Amino acid sequence: MPIQPIDVLYTATATAENGRDGRVASDDGKLDVVVNPPKEMGGNGAGTNPEQLFAAGFSACFQSALGVVARREKVDITGSRVTAKVGIGRNGEGGFGLTVELAVSIPGVDEAAARGLVEKAHQVCPYSNATRGNIEVRLTVI
């Protein structure tokens, strides 16, 4: 699939020092966090990690995409929540890969309609578009 050009509206900039066992900070100072590997990967787990940051970004972005779709379809999604679970593991080719599960709750919307909104949000969300065809992303309506 060819890369689609976009009209960039905003660019986020962050710099990492010492990789997974160091610090990550944004150029505007709004984000400045210690990162450490989780205990499951041999680290001390004292700080956050790239997978948690990715899960936070994906869940927030997907929630916004869900809002865009709901407004278009005039559906009230008040109280909805998106939880992203990001897994990391060996990919069998000497490297590592990610998996994502997006668990979406939309109270007051029947399951079939909720699934439709989630599928449409998956087409709108920039994180979904960036990961499509690269990593497994499972969508779950809870």
pLDDT tens sequence across 19-45:
999 999 999 999 999 999 999 999 999
DSSP 41: G
Q: What is the pairing mode between strands 22-26 and 96-105?
A: unpaired
Asked if the model's pLDDT at residue 83 lies above 90, the reply is yes
Helix, strand, or coil (residue 120): helix
Strand order in the sheet with 32-35: 14-17, 22-26, 32-35
Task: Give this prediction's pTM.
Answer: 0.93
The reported pLDDT for the residue numbered 60 is 98
Q: How far apart are CA 103 and CA 29, in angstroms?
A: 31
- Confirm if 31 and 16 have CB atoms less than 8 A apart: no
**What are the start-end ranges of the H helices in 41-110?**
50-73
Helix, strand, or coil (residue 84): strand
The reported pLDDT for the residue numbered 4 is 78
Q: How far apart are CA 85 and CA 106, in angstroms?
A: 18
All residues at 6 or more sequence positions from 38 whose CB lies less than 8 Å from its CB, including other chains: 45, 49, 51
Asked if the model's pLDDT at residue 5 lies above 90, the reply is no
Asked if the model's pLDDT at residue 115 lies above 80, the reply is yes
| Residue 1 pLDDT class (50, 70, 90 cuts) | low
Domains of the chain: 1-48 (2.20.25.10), 49-141 (3.30.300.20)
